[in-house]
Structure 1
Amino acid sequence: MIRIVSDSTCDLSKEIVDKYGIVIVPLYVRLGNEEKKDGVDITPEEIYKWSNETGETPKTAAPSVSDYMSVFSDDSDDEYIVFTISASMSASNNNCRLAVEELEIEDRVKVIDSANLSTGIGLLVMEAVDQADMGKNLSEIAEYIEEVKGRVRASFVIETLTFLHRGGRCSGIAALLGNTLKLRPKIVVSDGAMRPGKKYRGSADKCIMNYVKDMEDELRKAKKDRVFITHSGCDRDKVEEVRSFLEKLGIFLDIIETRAGSVVSSHCGPGTMGVLFISES
């Protein structure tokens, strides 16, 4: 049996995880001296509250080698394809590989560096689910994923620069000016790293819709299977406006809304939203 595993930064909902039997390995979130497991005993709202009270951003840490070792069964009939957040962002991928080497099960485990984060990973996980359902073997699935992962289009718009500043990813002056001028930067995941894109200006609602509309040409060239609307806590009407726009395009068979988990939310802050998909070519 092929089992599909991902670290918790894939930001897939519990409903999706349960429906497809996906195994999630949580990262850690450290609030001062307290260590919590992403998606298990900490919520983004608790992180926002703690961060606002302390003026700090939580530290995050990868699953340990032993965490990964505990995932793999002694049953030699089980095979695994494991997805991790970009290796340039976390030790998750390396720790998983070390676990596989320690257990000497390289013949039945494929470890995928997603070169992505959030539902940029989730898209690849769902592609693996589809391939497994089609009866593909482990090597075929891994080969397909390596081919398609470069076509993942992951981006999001940040509502406030405060959390990026607290995490050391944005200077205090830039954060102050950005918040004062209502600048909402687009962050694009490219080659395994987060890079700044276009800067939108104005209300959060206006900026998010302009961001989505700017992607229309790309969206029309997307794989039709699914698109994710992923956010770190946005107003319901804002989410529904984005969904309505995507529905009117008449492209996607499935439009999936997910909440960003604690790891991603701790860095981007509340009000962040992204539309993520896979390009056909």
Structure 2
Amino acid sequence: MSKIKIFADSTSDLSKNLIENNQISIVPLYVGFDDESYKDGVQITTKDLYTKVAEYDKLPKTSAPSPLDFVNAFKPFVEEGRDILYIGISSKLSSTLQNAKIAASEFPNAKIEIVDSFNLSTGIGLLVMKAVDFANEGMGVEDIAAKLRELAPNVETAFVPDTLDYLYKGGRCSATQALMGSVLKIRPIIKVVDGGMIVGQKARGKREKILETMLENALKDKDSMDKKRVFVTHTEGLEDANFLKEQLEKELDVEEVIITDAGCVISSHCGPNTVGILYILNEKI
């Protein structure tokens, strides 16, 4: 048994196989409709989410795990004498990380490292899997945490939503922007920069052309891209994800290109048929 226990939250969007095979523990965020609240990925699936959005005609509210949720998650492993490493969603997007820090303060005699990914979805997952790699190499928890903090700014996250409706309903674009996007077939390529989401590029035309633009952007980084793994993450957009995976495998010299499904929290902000490409740069250009 490794002395280090690695934690992430449900927004890391790692597959069940990656979680189970690498003994990663997940602390779920919450997704709520009116008075009902569900644990992301535990009590509600992405398909359930979209059914409820159609039923309620509004997006859910999402909320962070409480400090007590983190205390309950950490406690059994602290009692085993293990070191805790938690890699979480950007502190600029959620209070999840702050609640994890509050929980860590309840164990003053334990080694607990809380790492801000300054990212979302498998932008977090990339760092979690790097933590697994480093732990398997025998690195200590403090050294792993320091290395992850160095790598966090080098994570490249870009995704394309199929519709602006969810971004509009979630208050991330105006009604005018949503209407113009629909009429002119303009779709933003959303990027994560400094822990927040920005419109990195506005692409016009058929979805295939927009996907090719995102693919071209990623391939510009191929010489400086980390060779271990690249993620293609989607929400109900498997056909597009498979297309991107095939193209990336043809063009990149990486060990694996992994497709994962986005969980409910990420999907609630992006909408169905969103797809993204995520990777780590060896050096930030």
User: TM range, normalised to the smaller chain?
Assistant: over 0.9
TM normalised by structure 1 equals: 0.96
Supply the distance in 2 between the matched residues of 1:181 and 1:232 (Cα, whole angstroms).
Answer: 24
Structure 2 equivalent of residue 160 of structure 1: 163
Residue 128 of structure 1 corresponds to 131
Deviation at 1:114, TM superposition (A): 0.7
User: How many pairs align?
Assistant: 279
2:158·2:214 contact (CA, 8 Å) conserved in 1? no
**Offset, 1:115:** 0.5
Match of 2:10 in 1: 8
Letter in 1 for 2:189: K
Aligned pair partner of 2:228 in 221, 225, 229: 225
- Which residue pairs with 1:83 in the alignment? 87
Per-residue deviation at 1:235?
4.2
Partners of 1:218 and 1:58 in 2: how far apart?
Answer: 36
1:276 to 275, 278, 282: 278
SS in structure 1 opposite 2:255? coil
User: Deviation digits for residues 68-89 of structure 1, max 9, x if unmatched?
Assistant: 0011224252001101100111
Indicate the larger mover: 149-158 or 209-218: 209-218
Distance in 1, matches of 2:147 and 2:55, equals 46
Q: Does 1:55 align with 2:57?
A: yes
Q: Which one-letter code corresponds to 2:73 in the other structure?
A: V
Q: Percent sequence identity over matched residues?
A: 40
Distance 1:23 1:169 in 2: 31
State how far apart, in whole Å, the 2-side matches of 1:139 and 1:39 are: 29
Question: Secondary structure of the equivalent of 2:105?
Answer: helix
Question: For residues 84-127 of structure 1, what are the alpha-carbon distances to aligned partners after superposition, in whole Å with 9 as ceiling and x for unaligned?
Answer: 1001111110001001112324x410000110000000000000
Amino acid in the other structure paired with 1:240: N
SS in 2 for 1:218: coil
Under a length normalisation based on structure 2, what TM-score does the superposition of the two structures give? 0.95
Match of 1:212 in 2: 215
Contact 1:29 / 1:60 at 8 angstroms: preserved in 2?
yes
Partner of 1:241: 243
- What CA distance in whole angstroms lies between the structure 1 residues aligned with 2:155 and 2:48? 30
Q: Report the alpha carbon displacement of residue 134 of structure 1 after superposing the two structures with TM.
A: 0.1
The amino acid that maps onto 2:82 is D
**8 Å CA contact 1:55, 1:166 repeated in 2:** no
Letter in structure 2 aligned against 1:81: L
Q: CA deviation at 1:252?
A: 1.0
Question: Could you tell me how far apart the structure 1 residues matched to 2:250 and 2:104 are?
Answer: 45
Is 1:169 aligned to 2:138, yes or no? no
The CA deviation string for residues 200-253 of structure 1, in whole angstroms up to 9 with x for no partner, is: 1222232112211232111332010000000111142x2222111111113110
Separation (CA, whole Å) in 1 of partners of 2:275 and 2:256:
18
1:174 Cα deviation from its structure 2 partner: 1.0
Q: CA deviation at 1:145?
A: 0.7
Question: Match of 2:232, as an amino acid?
Answer: I
Give the letter for the 2:228 counterpart: D
Code of the residue aligned with 1:102 in structure 2: it is E
Structure 1: distance between partners of 2:223 and 2:245: 15
Which blocks of at least 5 consecutive residues in structure 2 are unaligned? none
Q: 2 CA distance for matches of 1:80 and 1:204?
A: 42
How much is the aligned-residue C-alpha RMSD, in angstroms?
A: 1.2
Alpha-carbon contact 2:235-2:271 (below 8 Å) kept: yes
Partner of 1:180: 183
Structure 1, unaligned runs of 5 or more: none
In the other structure, the counterpart of 1:266 is: 268
